[in-house]
Chain A
Amino acid sequence: MKIRKATINDFEELYSLGKKTPELRVSASEDFMDADEFKWSIKNPDGIFLLAEDKGKVIGFVYANAKDKDRAFENKYACLVYLTVSSDCRRKGVGKKLYLKCEKQLKKLGITNIYGWATLESKGEILKFMEKQGYSEGHKYVWVDKEL
């Protein structure tokens, strides 16, 4: 298994994995981030987008947006947007490897704090994982959206 930077050539495989992961769903009206925004995220100059691959197949990815990195804030927050491992490759440390590499790169950019929204709709696996990585659990929120 290898962790590497995602490129736009990986888009199809990454996007298909994202769409197949129900834990990443936030909205009642859309099943996943739209394709253009996902493509933009892979290329986001302020982002870290890594993937895990095994035998030529993408088995997981992590995406963090570090848009505070150039701001004059004392605490520079990055948002952990996605951390996903294909359901048949879980419980093998893939998520942890992806996460730790991402965290290391965020630190290098000068990020001091990370936050993320952990889904409460799954069995709490992501919550347990993040607690193990030193996160504290905050308050619960519900996503709401509408078209204008």
Chain B
Amino acid sequence: MRIRKATIADFDELYELGKNTPELICSADEEFMEAVTFKGFITDKNCVFLLAESKGKIAGFILAHTEWVNIIAKDKYAYICFLVVAPEFRKQGVATKLYSDCIKKLKSMGATAVYSWANAKGKEIIRFYKKQGFAEGQKYVWMDRQL
């Protein structure tokens, strides 16, 4: 298994994996992030977008935003937007590898703190973050509406 930077050529496979991962869905009305937005993050220099690949197949990916870049704040917070591993590649340390490479990169870019929203139903993801030293905060529900 190898971790590398995602490129635009990986878009179809990455997006498919995102769409097939129900834990990533926030909204009641929408299935997954819009394709154009997702694509934008692959090339955004203020994002860290890494993937894990095994035998030519994408096993998982991580997307983090360097939110502090556009904000003036005491802590330089990065936001982990997605951390996903395909079901057949779970329990093999893929997420840990993706996460630690991503954090390394974020730190080199200046991050001093990191946060994420973990699906409240995803016991595994919450356990994962706690193992990485995250503190569990409050529970929220996503609400959205069209104008």
Whole-angstrom CA separation of A147 from B103 in the bound complex = 11
Q: B140: which of A28, A37, A103, A119 is its contact (CB, 8 Å)?
A: A119
Q: A141: which of B107, B111, B118 is its contact (CB, 8 Å)?
A: B118
Residues of A within 8 A of B106 (CB): 148
Confirm or deny: A74 has a beta carbon within 8 angstroms of a beta carbon on chain B.
yes
Looking at chain A's contact residues, the main secondary structure is: mixed
| Central interface residue in A36, A112, A120, A141, by most chain B CB within 10 Å | A141
Residues of B within 8 A of A111 (CB): 147
| Cβ contact within 8 Å between B139 and A121 | yes
Whole-angstrom CA separation of A27 from B137 in the bound complex = 4
With both chains docked as a complex, state the minimum distance between the C-beta of B144 and any C-beta of chain A, in angstroms: 4
Interface residues on B, range: 35 or more
| Cβ contact within 8 Å between A138 and B146 | no
| Cβ contact within 8 Å between B144 and A138 | yes
Q: B147: which of A39, A107, A116, A145 is its contact (CB, 8 Å)?
A: A107
9-residue interface stretch from A8-16, A88-96, A128-136: A128-136
Residue of A nearest to B78 (CB): A148
Residues of B whose CB lies within 8 Å of any CB of A are 25-29, 34, 36-37, 40, 70-75, 77, 103, 106-107, 111-121, 126, 129-130, 132-147
The 4 closest A-B pairs by CB, nearest first: A138-B142, A143-B137, A37-B73, A145-B115
Cross-chain pairs A/B with CB under 8 angstroms, 28 sampled: A26-B138, A28-B138, A34-B75, A35-B74, A37-B74, A40-B73, A67-B70, A72-B36, A74-B34, A74-B36, A75-B34, A117-B117, A118-B143, A136-B144, A137-B142, A138-B26, A138-B144, A139-B27, A139-B121, A141-B141, A141-B142, A142-B117, A143-B140, A144-B126, A144-B129, A145-B113, A145-B134, A146-B135
